């Protein structure tokens, strides 16, 4: 049986907490942007698509640095939030969640966008001819039919957030009990003598969590897909 030390358990719980909130907090915006890219036409659509996917091609350290100078205590956004709302991201677990959300956001948007594009437009047009508003059509028809893709995007984002390292450690460092995630803990253990064993334990835990999430997502997506196909 895999036995983790108290410090290792703290890193695991913190990683799950950060990945959960990073995924949940970015979901509404991801659905909105995915719908815009899938269904709307506007002059800056290519620019928006490029900005959304920018974290995938930028070095994670660059993304972390941009977050630091923007959301740090001396950054324009960070200083405003700290002064007016007492919200601080730098060197806090909330900052780690923000970094993970930014890095995983493109994967979530892409999965949801592809799912929305797969929804038959004739169903949406039929609802419109029956007097349904655009908002009602989206929540009653488009979103339910795209739900498997939404779920897939959430799982991809969660897995990415769970393994995020570069942007997180650049933005919030690796403070034990506050911002030291599984990835940061593994890296730290590999830098000290005798750290191979705890690093291996955390690697096994990380693989197990990611695999369990993927299996659960696949089963739920199949269930939702079979329900949607029923007359």
Query: CA 218 to CA 181: how far, in whole Å?
Result: 26
Q: Find out whether 141 and 126 touch, Cβ atoms under 8 Å.
A: no
Instruction: Answer whether residue 164 is part of any domain.
Output: yes
pLDDT, tens digit (0-9, with 9 covering 90-100), for 37-47: 998 888 888 99
Whole-number pLDDT of residue 229 = 56
Query: CA 108 to CA 163: how far, in whole Å?
Result: 15
Q: Name every residue whose Cβ is closer than 8 Å to that of residue 35 and which is 6 or more positions away in sequence.
A: 113, 116, 138, 142
Task: Work out how many domains the chain is built from and give that number.
Answer: 1
Reply yes or no on whether the pLDDT at 168 is more than 80.
yes
Confidence grade of residue 36 (pLDDT, cut at 50, 70, 90) = very high
Whole-number pLDDT of residue 166 = 92
Confidence grade of residue 169 (pLDDT, cut at 50, 70, 90) = very high
Instruction: Answer whether residue 1 is part of any domain.
Output: no
Q: Of 123, 114, 98, 109, which Cα lies nearest the Cα of 179? A: 98
Reply yes or no on whether the pLDDT at 22 is more than 70.
yes
Query: CA 152 to CA 174: how far, in whole Å?
Result: 29
Whole-number pLDDT of residue 64 = 94
pLDDT, tens digit (0-9, with 9 covering 90-100), for 119-137: 888 888 888 787 778 788 8
Query: CA 179 to CA 172: how far, in whole Å?
Result: 7
Any idea what the CATH number is for the domain that residue 105 is in? 1.10.3720.10
Query: CA 146 to CA 225: how far, in whole Å?
Result: 9
pLDDT, tens digit (0-9, with 9 covering 90-100), for 49-89: 999 999 999 999 999 999 999 998 888 998 999 888 888 89
Reply yes or no on whether the pLDDT at 216 is more than 90.
no
Mean pLDDT of 168-184: 91
pTM of the model: 0.89
Tell me how far CA of residue 51 lies from CA of 97, 101, 104, 162, 190, in angstroms.
19, 14, 13, 22, 34
Whole-number pLDDT of residue 225 = 62
Across 163-182, b (16+ Cβ under 10 Å) vs e yields bbbbbbbbbbebeeeebbbb
Task: Show the domain range for 200.
Answer: 6-229
Confidence grade of residue 1 (pLDDT, cut at 50, 70, 90) = very low
Q: How many residues does the chain have?
A: 231
- % of the chain beyond a pLDDT of 70: 95
Whole-number pLDDT of residue 16 = 94
């Amino acid at each position: 049986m895999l036995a983790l030390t108290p410090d290792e358990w703290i890193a695991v719980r913190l990683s799950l907490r950060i990945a959960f909130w990073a995924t949940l907090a970015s979901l509404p915006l991801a659905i909105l942007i995915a719908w815009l890219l899938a269904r709307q036409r506007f002059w800056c659509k290519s620019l928006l698509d490029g900005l959304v996917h920018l974290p995938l091609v930028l070095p994670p350290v660059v993304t972390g640095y941009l977050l630091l100078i923007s959301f740090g205590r001396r950054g324009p956004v960070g200083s405003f939030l700290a002064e007016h709302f007492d919200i601080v991201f730098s060197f806090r677990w909330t900052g780690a969640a923000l970094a993970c959300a930014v890095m995983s956001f493109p994967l979530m948007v892409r999965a949801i966008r592809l799912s929305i594009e797969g929804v038959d437009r004739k169903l949406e047009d039929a609802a419109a001819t029956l007097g349904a508003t655009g908002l009602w059509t989206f929540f009653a028809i488009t979103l339910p039919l795209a739900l498997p893709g939404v779920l897939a995007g959430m799982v991809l984002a969660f897995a990415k957030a769970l393994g995020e390292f570069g942007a997180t450690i650049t933005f919030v460092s690796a403070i034990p009990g506050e911002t030291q995630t599984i990835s940061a803990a593994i890296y730290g253990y590999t830098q000290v003598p005798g750290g191979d064993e705890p690093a291996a334990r955390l690697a096994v835990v990380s693989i197990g969590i990611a695999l369990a999430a993927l299996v659960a997502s696949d089963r739920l997506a199949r269930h939702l897909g079979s329900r949607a196909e029923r007359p």
